[in-house]
A and B are shown apart, each in its own frame.
Chain A
């Protein structure tokens, strides 16, 4: 009984002391409180503007392209008449190009990341040069990669011509730095104890890397790869220089011989014809493109959040 009273008293005393000190400590000058509120409102306003702007971008494409959106976009080829035009050729071209990009960029990017994280001695000047170089390449404007592709891949040493393979190679070089940086981060996140455990059991360096480090880093690498590939899919600027703008009427069947075009380039092409019917068609193409890109990116972010490991 007396115990009950004491605890009740203690509780009251604590609550009272707490409310007094809270009142004292949070009692800020009125001006400060108002300024704080205004600042908070400004922040919310800014965040809303950013999200609203991006939402409007999606909504505007949907409104402009809704009338033209339909199965025809996937089954019709390029045409001189807006009513008959579709994106089949462009979508097939994009698939060829992106297939090539995945094929080339994943081994190259992951290989480079493994070298820099697992093998290269980070204190040696040549390894630091490679690192700095990759950081710089990540910021080079995409159209400059178009010039590179034009000089070395379409013409010059490789002379592949204006075909899908050239686009695959050019875009591979474009996204390589992004993949390397993402892959390095997730390889670095694998704790050293995992490596040391494997090495102590007699595994060689490559066995450790192949069977311990790489599997643990796969989710992060995959996320980086998907984000980078979706960037390559939406990229148009470098392709303008290496010949994706030609008027292609037949589907690309052979990535090393046939002319090609890609979805974003075709959208730009329709956009450039300037009449309203073409703009509608371009908007419908943008809807298709955004659906694909947003789906890819969401999968990537979901993967990362799902498999993110805290060691």
Chain B
């Protein structure tokens, strides 16, 4: 009797639920989504933190040193009297090292990319590319040591006398070459990706018209991948500008406004590293230079990265 009642009542309760919604509100799912969102927001917090940690002390600094004097002054002597805060000498130092690095890394990196993408057999490519990736992970301290203990002595030995005085024990050229070596894998790897992404149809068309392999590589693939290649170079530049250990160990500590590769210079990152490890009291004007230089460095690399992201987007839009 009772059992029958239940069956009838459940039948009377209507059709079985047909909606696909979960029977409970699933609060756990919401909690998990919230936690994951917090993880993603950490990166935003980091950016905000970087900006605050740079801008706040810099404001104090620029209260005492006019921005114009800082950006366009040509005399950088924060640590001795008379103090002078013209940042250009260490900017030029960074520029010099970056320049020598790129003169080495761009041709070598791009040639390696063309070779890997257009010439190498699949087996060679499968070995060389991972090897480059492994080498890209070598700590920069090792590059700094290499620049000081190998490149500089080598340069001093082979320096032709008609070029004038040979390289100083610390010099921009050795540091630049080591940084160049450091960014070759970056440029080669990203450019190769861009070149491999060029549709095979473009290559086949050129080959069908009788173009040689060199022409296909230089006139078809290279221009088609140009924005990706440019992005790799910009990324290489920003790596070179931000590199600290190599310039600290091999380029010297003497802020001179010169592009002469054999001279000792000081780069922006090296200045920050040296000053922070020295024994300068916090809160002094001299200590605050760290943050002003850091801010400049941050803004420079940020701008370059924006350009690089734009370039990559552009080539993705064309071929996908």
Give the nearest-CB partner of B300 in chain A. A141
Binary flags per residue of B140-155, CB closer than 8 Å to A gives 1, else 0: 1111111011100000
Contacts of B36 in A (CB 8 A): 111-112, 114-115, 118-119
Pick from A44, A141, A152, A177: contact of B43, CB below 8 A: A177
Whether B167 sits at the interface, judged by CB under 8 Å, is no
Whether A185 sits at the interface, judged by CB under 8 Å, is no
CB distance from B286 to the nearest CB of A (A): 15
Known A36-B212, A176-B42, A271-B145: A231·B108 in contact at CB below 8 Å: no
Interface centre among B46, B238, B290 (most CB of A within 10 A): B46
Whether A189 sits at the interface, judged by CB under 8 Å, is no
Asked whether, in the complex, the Cβ of A297 is within 8 Å of the Cβ of B235, the reply is: no
**How far apart sit A250 and B257, CA to CA, in the bound complex (Å)?**
43
CB distance from A144 to the nearest CB of B (A): 5
Asked whether, in the complex, the Cβ of B149 is within 8 Å of the Cβ of A144, the reply is: no
**How far apart sit A151 and B53, CA to CA, in the bound complex (Å)?**
6
Asked whether, in the complex, the Cβ of A279 is within 8 Å of the Cβ of B149, the reply is: yes
CB distance from B305 to the nearest CB of A (A): 4
**How far apart sit A211 and B319, CA to CA, in the bound complex (Å)?**
34
Binary flags per residue of B35-54, CB closer than 8 Å to A gives 1, else 0: 11111111110110110111
Known A36-B213, A294-B134, A301-B130: A236·B181 in contact at CB below 8 Å: no
Contacts of A135 in B (CB 8 A): 305, 309
Contacts of A206 in B (CB 8 A): 28-29, 32-33
Give the nearest-CB partner of A233 in chain B. B139
**How far apart sit A243 and B180, CA to CA, in the bound complex (Å)?**
29
CB distance from B271 to the nearest CB of A (A): 10
Which of B7-15, B62-70, B272-280 has 4 or more CB atoms under 8 Å from chain A? B272-280
Asked whether, in the complex, the Cβ of A28 is within 8 Å of the Cβ of B115, the reply is: no
Contacts of B47 in A (CB 8 A): 133, 136-137
Contacts of A54 in B (CB 8 A): 135, 138, 181
**How far apart sit A120 and B214, CA to CA, in the bound complex (Å)?**
45
Which A residues between 134 and 168 are near B, CB-CB below 8 angstroms? 134-148, 150-152, 156
- Main SS of chain A's interface residues? helix
Pick from B29, B108, B146, B244: contact of A61, CB below 8 A: B146
Contacts of B213 in A (CB 8 A): 36, 40
Binary flags per residue of A17-38, CB closer than 8 Å to B gives 1, else 0: 0000000010010001101100
Asked whether, in the complex, the Cβ of A46 is within 8 Å of the Cβ of B107, the reply is: yes
Interface centre among A33, A57, A116, A134 (most CB of B within 10 A): A57
Asked whether, in the complex, the Cβ of B181 is within 8 Å of the Cβ of A235, the reply is: no
> How extensive is the interface on chain A, given as a class?
35 or more
CB distance from A36 to the nearest CB of B (A): 5
**How far apart sit A56 and B149, CA to CA, in the bound complex (Å)?**
11
Pick from A137, A241, A279: contact of B276, CB below 8 A: A241
Asked whether, in the complex, the Cβ of B309 is within 8 Å of the Cβ of A286, the reply is: no
**How far apart sit A49 and B106, CA to CA, in the bound complex (Å)?**
13
Give the nearest-CB partner of B110 in chain A. A46
Whether A85 sits at the interface, judged by CB under 8 Å, is no
Contacts of A301 in B (CB 8 A): 130, 133-134
Contacts of A188 in B (CB 8 A): none
Known A286-B142, A294-B134: A46·B150 in contact at CB below 8 Å: no
Asked whether, in the complex, the Cβ of B137 is within 8 Å of the Cβ of A293, the reply is: yes
Contacts of B131 in A (CB 8 A): 51
Pick from B28, B49, B244: contact of A148, CB below 8 A: B49
Contacts of A108 in B (CB 8 A): 39, 42
Asked whether, in the complex, the Cβ of B244 is within 8 Å of the Cβ of A141, the reply is: yes
CB distance from B152 to the nearest CB of A (A): 12
Whether B265 sits at the interface, judged by CB under 8 Å, is no
Give the nearest-CB partner of B181 in chain A. A53
Whether B301 sits at the interface, judged by CB under 8 Å, is yes
Contacts of B218 in A (CB 8 A): 39
Asked whether, in the complex, the Cβ of B145 is within 8 Å of the Cβ of A286, the reply is: yes
Which of B156-164, B196-204, B291-299 has 4 or more CB atoms under 8 Å from chain A? B291-299
Asked whether, in the complex, the Cβ of B214 is within 8 Å of the Cβ of A173, the reply is: no
Asked whether, in the complex, the Cβ of A139 is within 8 Å of the Cβ of B146, the reply is: no
Asked whether, in the complex, the Cβ of B39 is within 8 Å of the Cβ of A112, the reply is: yes
**How far apart sit A156 and B282, CA to CA, in the bound complex (Å)?**
13
Asked whether, in the complex, the Cβ of A137 is within 8 Å of the Cβ of B112, the reply is: no
**How far apart sit A144 and B268, CA to CA, in the bound complex (Å)?**
11
Binary flags per residue of B297-320, CB closer than 8 Å to A gives 1, else 0: 110011011101100000000000
Asked whether, in the complex, the Cβ of B37 is within 8 Å of the Cβ of A120, the reply is: yes
Contacts of A293 in B (CB 8 A): 137-139
Known A43-B111, A147-B54: A231·B142 in contact at CB below 8 Å: no
Asked whether, in the complex, the Cβ of A107 is within 8 Å of the Cβ of B39, the reply is: yes
26 contacts between A and B (CB under 8 A): A36-B213, A46-B107, A46-B108, A57-B138, A57-B150, A61-B146, A114-B36, A119-B37, A130-B41, A130-B43, A133-B44, A136-B309, A140-B298, A141-B269, A141-B298, A143-B244, A147-B272, A150-B53, A234-B140, A234-B142, A268-B144, A268-B245, A271-B145, A286-B141, A296-B137, A297-B133
Q: Closest 5 A-B residue pairs measured CB to CB?
A: A141-B242, A234-B139, A111-B39, A46-B111, A151-B53
B-binding residues in A (CB < 8 A): 25, 28, 32-33, 35-36, 39-40, 42-47, 49-51, 53-54, 56-57, 60-61, 64, 107-112, 114-116, 118-120, 129-130, 132-148, 150-152, 156, 173, 176-177, 180, 204-206, 227, 230-231, 233-237, 240-241, 245, 264, 267-268, 271, 279, 282-283, 286, 289-290, 293-294, 296-298, 301, 305
